[in-house]
Amino acid sequence: MSARKGKRKEYLTVKDLQKVLDSCTLHLSQLDEVWPHIYIGNVAVAQNKAALLKLDDSTHFDLDVYFQPAADFIHKALKSPGGKVLVHCIMGMSRSSTLVLAYLMIYQHLPLKQALQKLIQKRAIYPNRNFLALLLDLDLQLTKKRKTCQIL
């Protein structure tokens, strides 16, 4: 019985992820380079403030439908000569960081916890609980996909 218990897979929870985020000692700034040539900023560094103010960082917003398109956009931009990307939202803490985390998971093949740890070394971020749950779902999907590809 104890051998079986030792083999049990431990899954991350939103609370686990919030503990990682709580370990960040950085102060929030207007703009930070969080990955080579990828920046997260707030509305003050973006040009279209009116459109951004219409966005609501709702705990029920289905941001996950934007994970792949945003990751594709970031990836394509970074591949262009001299490519840099600013990912922004009103505070530069939740929505924008969630999209950058999705990019790191999809294109850089980082597990969610490792992606979080990398970002909090560069910027104070705090995706809301809903976004963390969506990222956990993405992490499970990507892990399952990688395991399936290894078997084939």
Instruction: Establish how many alpha carbons lie within 13 A of residue 130's alpha carbon, considering only the half-sphere containing its beta carbon.
Output: 10
Burial 51-83 (b: 16+ CB within 10 A, else e): eeeeeebeeebebbeebeebbeebeeebeeeee
Catalytic-residue membership of 89: yes
The residue-averaged pLDDT of 39-64 equals 67
The full set of domain ranges for the chain reads: 32-53+60-151
Q: What pLDDT score was predicted for residue 55?
A: 47
Q: Which of 21, 89, 104, 116 is catalytic?
A: 89
Q: For residue 45, give the H/E element and its range.
A: none
Evaluate whether 142 touches 135 at the Cβ level (below 8 Å): no
Tens digits of residue pLDDT in 112-141? 999 999 999 999 999 999 999 999 999 999
What's the rounded Cα separation, in Å, for the pair 18 and 128? 9
pLDDT of residue 150: 74
For 78-110, give the secondary structure using H, E and C: HHCCCCCEEEECCCCCCHHHHHHHHHHHHHCCC
CA dihedral defined by 127, 25, 101, 43, rounded to 10 degrees?
Answer: 60
Is residue 56 pLDDT above 70, yes or no? no
Q: How many residues does the chain have?
A: 152
- The CA-CA-CA angle for residues 104, 83, 115, to 5°, reads 15
CB atoms within 10 A of CB 138: 20
82, pLDDT greater than 70: yes
What number does CATH give the domain 32-53+60-151? 3.90.190.10
Q: Comparing 48 with 101, which gets the higher pLDDT? A: 101
Residue 4 has pLDDT above 70, yes or no: no
pTM, whole model, 2 decimals?
0.76
